[in-house]
Structure 1
Amino acid sequence: MAKVKRIFSDDYLFRGKYVAMVNDLTTEIDPHSGATIFNSAVELYLTAAIVGAHYQLTANPDNTGDSKRIMASQFSNHYNDLKFAYQLVMLNADRDELSAVDRVNNAFRYSEADPEYPKNVATFERYMLGGLVFLHNRFIKSTNTHYEDYRISMDELIADMSGKKSENNDDEDIDFGPVF
């Protein structure tokens, strides 16, 4: 019987085309500022999963070529955040195919011993990879060339994900409704 991959307990390998994306998003973006978009691959992994679930984006693993490893010890340092991201992904994953009860069970109930667990790990990975592709396209394949460009792109992404209008978009005002 094949060994069950334990999410956040085992090392994770980005492979193939995703290695370049991770490297692009975790290395210095502007030599003048020394800034990076993400400080580490584990922070990118976490963010990409949430972005993938938010936008309902998935991508299939690429098992060819080079690999880049996230050590299990790095996951343990971010375990609570990663577990929360996993739960968010499972609650939002496959909305058209699964009932709300099934999604809640996937998020909170199933453990490594359950037959659904390997499928859920694969689902999480697909959403994380979909988010990774989105982030790479948003930050690297865009016209960003300087730190300020990347900062504006990040502000726009956060505004878009939170449902708020970005300060850089002057098309209309935000209606926050009554305040208290």
Structure 2
Amino acid sequence: MQVKKNHIQIVLSVIIGLIFACFGVFLFSNFQYRGLTIKDNVYPSISAGNFNSFMYGIWVLLGSGFMADWFLEFSAVNIANSSIGAILFGDTILPAILTWFTVGFSISIIVKGFKRGLIVSLIIFLSVFFLWFITGIFAGADITAIFITYILNTLSEIFTILISLIPGSVIGGLIRIRLVSLKK
């Protein structure tokens, strides 16, 4: 019975993690993230009726969580033009950090512990990343340009996700462990 309960927890955490990964940046940015809205950019593509438009809508939805570029936002030029607080609490970095922190946190709370939560969170991140990659191929996006031409931007976007996903997983797991130990 315990094994079945663990599987249910993992499946539930994967579903919740995927939902937060897809829609989180829109939730934390008042449903408009970097000029994208679900109503104006994602929904028309998904409901257009052809496969390429559908894949483009899914690609935009999945890719919205990967748009925060830590190194670009905290570059010397950006810091000279505005304050660190304005950059951190602006419309780009904060929604992405909150999204991926919430993904890690919620998964670790559900699956009991930070180790298992971290593993499932990283699996969610990789799944969303590969789904974004595959839907980009079907949508006709120039994936080569994204990875080769802008390799530092891509690595910075992955870094931004990981610096919020990992602490979210660890904190959520530690809270879950503490709650379980208080019950005993």
Normalising by structure 1, we get a TM-score of 0.28
Normalising by structure 2, we get a TM-score of 0.28
Structure with more of its chain in strand, by fraction: 1
